[in-house]
């Protein structure tokens, strides 16, 4: 039976031989079968150095017939290896001519390190550590099934190889459907996919990983390095393709942009020329005394609309043309291609010149319109100023009159209502006159009135503010009249109720909607169920026409007065009974009623024994149900 060391050497010899054959295959050189025998004449060794070093070692004996010729070949190869800065120790030409397998394997491992593994770098680490870190990073998402810590035991189930393939090329195998316990099948699958789809030579056998104890570290490193280079080359190839595709896309875009620029520049120049001709013809006709204000005003509106539409579009188009041409030139310069100039007459200088001519024509055209309507605009401004000042003066008179109200509440209400009914309406009519006057000014393109700073918007806001103040004042007076007649409430209660009502009367109609009504009661710590709220609100509306302050105060008086109406008694008993249709002795005791009162109620309220069968531990005070319906209380017990 072979010793573990002999077994590892056999694995290394087979693996290294396959690795060397993969290099020879690039030149179509016949593969080797036995390292010791096939390297002994130095020919294969020289060929390998020329392939890996991408150079020629000069003349050598292709078919050596004598030992000295073999020694010359081997020495030439070893000298080249040393010239590349590769340190060789304890190996001479004789060790290869007379095959010393251990030293030959050491030499090949040195070559593998130098030409395959040494250039691997990952986060500052190189060679073995760099290769290990690369594997760990690529397989991190496959933990805990894959946990690569070395180049021996971590590779015995094939999952690490499958994970590497799946990470880079998930289209080649479905890692998640693997039978994680079938080590041989997983390893064979990885070998097969790597060889057939990735071009990675099968340097190892399944048994080299699954059966070796332990697997050979150098053989595994050699094989895994092939994955590193395969995927690195794949990334490089993809980068090259992307670079070419990007260039093609860019050039297609440049070609399209060149055509787009000339087409859009030609169209813009046509628009500018046509607009100048239209303005020139129209400005000439404005000199005639037959031109009327409506016609001139229409021209002014058209000019304003043009500024907001066509002119802005042309400004944007001009800027986009500048950007478009700049982008084309930049891209051509980036790729060091010949500069491009637009067709004669379509360059930016022609666009700018035509644009400046348009701006000059616009100024002349605008002045010709403004000079014709200036007198009419002045008249309109004076009329608007007169109306605005008159409206403001009359509004201030009403504000002073409202602020001076005093005396009997009924007289104050009468005066305030008169203002609201008649005089406020006249101000509204005057405000409408101002709106029409301002509309006429705006139609004549008057943006600022030189004769007043007052505007319809300002005075409309002030009038609405006064309207609200007047409405609140009338409501306040009416509420005070109601409060005056409510003698069974304290001043503090009246103040609280009145302020609450005003707070929740958000639309200042002196009435409460059902939502405002509910919120107002809740703010006073008075709450009812939704059904009860609906009932109370409907009752108040039916009685008072709406939930005004009088209705609101009436309800609060009823709630806060210490009376005992049947409805209040029923509500009180229902709360003590915790919404049950009956009440128990325990409910009465929990309500902290005096014992004498409880005894009295037990004698006057109809009772019925509850069915407590199956309910163990029921308190005796909960076994009798008393009917608290108020109608059942309207009698005295028999003596």
pTM of the model: 0.41
With 60 as the cut, is the pLDDT of residue 486 above it? no
The pLDDT value recorded for residue 316 is: 95
With beta carbons less than 8 A apart as the criterion, state whether 511 and 546 touch: yes
**Residue with the two structure tokens 């009812």:** 528
Model pLDDT for residues 536-553, shown as the tens digit of each residue: 888 888 888 888 877 877
What is the spatial distance between Cα 471 and Cα 417, in angstroms, rounded to a whole number? 9
Does 257 map to a domain? no
Residues 382 and 473 both lie in one domain: yes
Residue 289 pLDDT exceeds 80: no
Predicted pLDDT of residue 68: 93
Residue 416 lies in a domain: yes
Residue range of the domain that includes 206: 121-215
CA distances from 460 to 202, 273, 467, 586 (A): 91, 46, 10, 66
Contacts of 229 (CB under 8 A, 6+ apart): 116
* Alpha-carbon span 154 to 166, nearest angstrom: 17
Q: What is the pLDDT of residue 547?
A: 83
Q: With contact defined as beta carbons under 8 Å apart, do 292 and 373 qualify?
A: no
Judge if 125 and 211 occupy the same domain.
yes
| Contact (CB, 8 A) for 108 and 32 | no
Radius of gyration of the chain (CA): 52
How many CA atoms lie within 13 Å of 258's alpha carbon, on the beta-carbon side? 15
Contacts of 491 (CB under 8 A, 6+ apart): none
Per-residue pLDDT tens digits for 221-247: 999 999 998 888 777 767 777 777 777
Residue 195 domain-assigned?
Answer: yes
112 and 24 share a domain? yes
d(CA 492, CA 490) in angstroms, rounded, equals 5
334 within a domain of the structure (yes/no): no
Could you tell me if 501 and 468 lie in one domain?
no
Burial label for 286, CB within 10 Å (0-12, 13-18, 19+), is middle
Do 52 and 109 lie in one domain? The reply is yes
Last residue of a domain, one of 117, 138, 158: 117
Weakest-pLDDT range from 117-131, 157-171, 571-585: 117-131
The predicted pLDDT at position 410 comes to: 73
Domain harbouring 402, CATH code? 1.20.58.60
358 neighbors 268 (Cβ within 8 angstroms):
no
Residue 84 buriedness (CB in 10 A; 0-12 / 13-18 / 19+): middle
- Average model confidence (pLDDT) across the chain: 84
- Answer whether residue 287 is part of any domain: no
Is 625 inside any structural domain? Answer: yes
Out of 215, 248, 272, pick the residue that ends a domain: 215
Q: How many domains, in total, are found in the chain?
A: 5
388 with 457, same domain? Answer: yes
Token readout for 608 is 């019925």
* pLDDT for position 72: 92
CATH of the domain at 504: 1.10.238.10
CB-based contacts of 434: which residues, under 8 Å, 6+ apart? 384, 387, 388, 391, 456, 459
Q: In the 8-state DSSP scheme, what is residue 613?
A: T
Residues 520 and 600 in one domain: no
525 in any annotated domain: yes
User: What pLDDT does residue 405 have?
Assistant: 72
Domain boundary among 70, 99, 117: 117
CATH number assigned to the domain comprising residue 177: 1.10.418.10
- Give the tens place of pLDDT for each residue, 112-138: 888 888 777 766 677 788 899 999 999
Do residue 515 and residue 547 come from a single domain?
Answer: yes
Residues 97 and 25 in one domain: yes
Closest by CA position to 17, among listed 3, 31, 1, 6:
31
Residue 258 counted as domain residue = no
Q: What are the DSSP calls for 408-433, one per residue?
A: -HHHHHHHHHHIIIIIHHHHHHHHHH
- Return the axis-axis angle of helices 456-484 and 424-443, rounded to nearest 10°: 160
Same domain? For 22 and 104 the reply is yes
| pLDDT tens track for 47-71 | 999 998 889 989 999 999 899 999 9
Does 9 share its domain with 106? yes
Q: Is residue 510 domain-shared with residue 472, that is, in the same domain?
A: no
Kindly tell me the sign of the dihedral angle through the C-alpha atoms of 29, 30, 33, 34. Answer: negative
Block residue for tokens 């520049």: 265
Residue pLDDT, tens place only, 430-460? 889 999 998 888 877 788 888 899 888 988 8
């Amino acid at each position: 039976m072979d010793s573990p060391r002999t077994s590892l050497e056999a694995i290394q010899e087979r693996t290294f031989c396959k690795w060397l054959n993969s290099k020879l295959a690039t030149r179509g050189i016949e593969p080797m079968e036995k390292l010791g025998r096939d390297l002994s004449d130095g020919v294969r060794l020289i060929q390998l150095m020329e392939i890996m070093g991408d150079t020629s070692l000069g003349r050598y004996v292709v078919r050596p017939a004598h030992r000295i010729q073999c020694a010359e070949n081997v020495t030439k190869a070893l000298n080249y290896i040393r010239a590349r800065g590769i340190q060789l120790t304890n190996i001479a030409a004789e060790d290869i001519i007379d095959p010393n397998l251990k030293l030959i394997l050491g030499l090949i491992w040195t070559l593998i390190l130098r030409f395959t593994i040494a250039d691997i770098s990952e986060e500052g680490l190189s060679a073995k550590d760099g290769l290990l870190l690369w594997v760990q990073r690529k397989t991190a998402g496959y933990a805990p099934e894959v946990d690569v810590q070395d180049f021996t035991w971590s590779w015995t189930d094939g999952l690490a190889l499958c994970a590497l393939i799946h990470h880079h090329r998930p289209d080649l195998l479905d890692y998640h459907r693997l039978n994680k316990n079938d080590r041989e099948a997983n390893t064979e699958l990885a070998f097969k996919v790597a060889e057939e789809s990735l071009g990675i030579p099968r340097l190892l056998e399944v048994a080299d990983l699954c059966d070796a104890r332990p697997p050979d570290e150098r053989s595994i490193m050699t094989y895994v390095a092939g994955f590193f280079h395969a995927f690195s080359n794949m990334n490089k190839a993809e980068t090259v393709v992307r670079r070419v595709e990007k260039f093609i896309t860019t050039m297609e875009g440049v070609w399209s942009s060149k055509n787009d620029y000339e087409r859009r520049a030609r169209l813009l120049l046509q628009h500018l020329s046509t607009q100048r001709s239209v303005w020139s013809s129209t400005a000439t006709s404005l000199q005639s005394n037959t031109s009327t204000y409506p016609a001139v005003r229409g021209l002014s509106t058209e000019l304003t609309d043009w500024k907001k539409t066509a002119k802005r579009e042309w400004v944007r188009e001009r800027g986009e043309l500048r950007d478009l041409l700049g982008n084309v030139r930049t891209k051509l310069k980036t790729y060091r291609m010949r500069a491009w100039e637009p067709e004669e007459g379509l360059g930016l200088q022609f666009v700018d010149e035509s644009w400046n001519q348009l701006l000059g024509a616009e100024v002349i055209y605008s002045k010709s319109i403004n000079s014709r309507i200036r007198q009419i605009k002045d008249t309109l401004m004076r009329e608007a100023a007169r109306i605005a000042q008159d409206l403001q003066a009359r509004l201030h008179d009403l504000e002073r009159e409202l602020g001076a109200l005093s005396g009997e509440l009924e007289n104050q209400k009468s005066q305030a209502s008169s203002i609201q009914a008649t005089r406020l309406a006249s101000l509204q009519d005057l405000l409408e006159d101002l709106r029409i006057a301002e509309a006429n000014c705006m139609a004549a393109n008057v943006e600022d009135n030189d004769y007043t700073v007052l505007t319809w918007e300002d005075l409309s806001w002030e009038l609405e503010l006064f309207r609200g103040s007047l409405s609140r004042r009338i409501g306040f007076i009416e509420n005070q009249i109601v409060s005056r007649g409510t003698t069974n409430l304290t001043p503090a209660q009246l103040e609280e109720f009145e302020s609450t009502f005003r707070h929740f009367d958000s639309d200042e109609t002196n009435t409460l909607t059902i939502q405002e009504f509910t919120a107002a009661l809740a703010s006073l710590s008075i709450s009812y169920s939704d059904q009860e709220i609906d009932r109370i609100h409907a009752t108040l509306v039916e009685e008072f026409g709406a939930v005004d302050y009088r209705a609101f105060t009436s309800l609060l008086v009823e709630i806060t007065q210490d009376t005992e109406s049947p409805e209040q008694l029923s509500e009180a008993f229902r709360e003590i009974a915790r919404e049950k249709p009956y009440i128990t002795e325990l409910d009465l005791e929990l309500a902290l009623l005096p014992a004498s009162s409880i005894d009295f109620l037990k004698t006057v309220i109809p009772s019925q024994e509850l069915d407590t069968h199956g309910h163990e531990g029921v308190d005796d005070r909960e076994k009798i149900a008393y009917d608290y319906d108020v109608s059942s209380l309207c009698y005295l017990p028999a003596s």
